[in-house]
Amino acid sequence: MGNDLLGRTINGRYKLIDERGSGNFGTVYIARDMVTNHIFAMKIMHLDHSDDNELLERFKREAYILQSLNNEHVVHLVDYGNDDSIYFIVMKHIDGQNLKWYITTYGPVDALRGLDYIIQAAEGLDIAFKAGVVHRDIKPQNILISNKGVVKIADFGLARSSSTPTITTSDKFMGTAYYSSPEQMQSGHDADIRSDLYSLAVVLYESLVGQPPFKGDSVVEIIFKHLNDPVPSIYRQRRDVPPEIDAFIQRAMAKSPAARFQTPRDFINALESIKRIMQGPMPETHLLQARLLLVASGKNIPLNGEDMIIGRADPKHEIHPDIQIDDSTMTLGRKHARLFYQQGTWMVEDQNSRNKTRLNGKILSPYEPQPLSDGDLLQFGRVEARFEMR
């Protein structure tokens, strides 16, 4: 099933006008309500699943669970039912994109904004927790962000509720390996709110770093790392967040559920404390005076901060780098590179830019800082700049 349903009117009311995405169980469309002329998101179960009792019950349960959750940080149910064996769920349309899209398109998220997104998502999990619901599939694709910056949790297709019977009797793994907790990988029935919070901590890591903490060539390899490997440091890769972020991640992603945050409110309070540290005054540092000289224009850019992102501004997406350069070649990324002062030395670090950062002609590996010396030539895409001590 796919675009063959486009243009069709479901339940005599909802006309499918666009397809937004397809998953294992269903496809999400943009639908126009022919009665009110409002636009909604409409999830339709794949037609070839309608005879599968387990999948059908899971689809119906998603509608039941959404009906029980009323919060600005959870997608809002409008209608559900079936039209000649076409099972559907109608939800309010979110004018925006999912978090995965933002990470893939623009790279790591601004640190404070990233924490705000995760705190909002945790507020949604708090409502689910109080309703006895476990999501079991928290990942960036299921975290929607409106154009006003409001976060909503979506896709409760794998969710379990304490008020509904268990659908499967097996302990088979359900979820996404990059984001699932160790206990969820071993037994889906053992996943509770602490498992969802583990997954949300993985999403936080990916938001700030640009990729999940554990990667591998196979699902088995990724699962093995979740079960056995320590979590890599965020602070070593993002010096614009305090070192307390590592302690938070270590606790939130502890192998044992008992060692983690036990409730969403505990999780939120800890992140709020980190936000307050980040918003407080920076410690005074004696900077070695330096500047960038743009080769093409001769413009001098003083390096007045101890940690700055250089890139191209994008007001539409609220991206405002510390050092903004107008680039007619469009090869300078929105968050292209980082210049920072550390232990008496200026450093440059590529931010996984599409068009690379070069130091004296050598391409820099992403997130691997390199020291700068007076007279070094930097290239951000096609933008050339000379680093000069003053």
Pairing of β 323-324 and β 307-311: parallel
Residues in contact with 158: Cβ distance below 8 Å, sequence separation at least 6, in sequence order: 58, 135, 136, 137, 174, 175
Q: What percent of the chain has pLDDT over 70?
A: 93
Catalytic one among 137, 155, 192, 196? 137
The yes-or-no verdict on residue 319 having pLDDT over 60 is: yes
pLDDT at 142: 95
The yes-or-no verdict on residue 110 having pLDDT over 70 is: yes
The yes-or-no verdict on residue 315 having pLDDT over 90 is: no
Give the HSE-up count for residue 317: Cα atoms under 13 Å, Cβ half-sphere.
Answer: 19
Pairing of β 26-33 and β 77-83: unpaired
* pLDDT tens-place string over residues 276-305: 988 876 555 456 789 999 998 889 999 988
The yes-or-no verdict on residue 165 having pLDDT over 50 is: no
pLDDT at 48: 80
The arrangement of secondary structure in 3-92, i.e. its CATH architecture, is: 2-Layer Sandwich (3.30)
| Tokens linked to 321 | 């780098």
Range list of β-strands (E), 162-305: 290-294, 300-302
Distance separating alpha carbons of residues 292 and 359, to the nearest angstrom:
13
Average pLDDT over residues 194-216: 96
Distance separating alpha carbons of residues 173 and 170, to the nearest angstrom:
9
Distance separating alpha carbons of residues 313 and 325, to the nearest angstrom:
8
| Amino acid residing at 203 | V
- 3-92 against 290-389: fold identical: no
* pLDDT tens-place string over residues 255-279: 999 999 999 999 999 999 999 988 8
Distance separating alpha carbons of residues 202 and 319, to the nearest angstrom:
23
The arrangement of secondary structure in 290-389, i.e. its CATH architecture, is: Sandwich (2.60)
Look at residues 36, 18, 35 and name the one whose alpha carbon lies nearest to residue 27: 18
Number of neighbouring beta carbons within 10 Å of residue 187: 12
Q: Specify whether the CB–CB gap between 127 and 153 falls below 8 A.
A: no
Superfamily of domain 97-279: Transferase(Phosphotransferase) domain 1 (1.10.510.10)
The yes-or-no verdict on residue 313 having pLDDT over 70 is: yes
Q: What percent of the chain has pLDDT over 90?
A: 67
Q: What residue ranges do the domains of the chain occupy?
A: 3-92, 97-279, 290-389
Q: Is 217 a catalytic residue?
A: no
Q: Reduce the DSSP state of residue 153 to 3 states and report it.
A: strand
Tell me what percent of the chain is helix, strand and coil, each rounded to the nearest 5.
30, 25, 45
To which residue do tokens 């008992």 refer? 258
pLDDT at 169: 42
Quote the mean pLDDT of the chain: 89
Tell me the sheet residues that pair with 342.
345
* pLDDT tens-place string over residues 5-37: 899 999 999 999 999 888 777 899 999 999 999
Tell me the sheet residues that pair with 294.
385
| Amino acid residing at 284 | E
pLDDT at 163: 55
Q: What confidence tier does 171 reach under pLDDT thresholds 50, 70, 90?
A: very low
Q: Specify whether the CB–CB gap between 237 and 350 falls below 8 A.
A: no
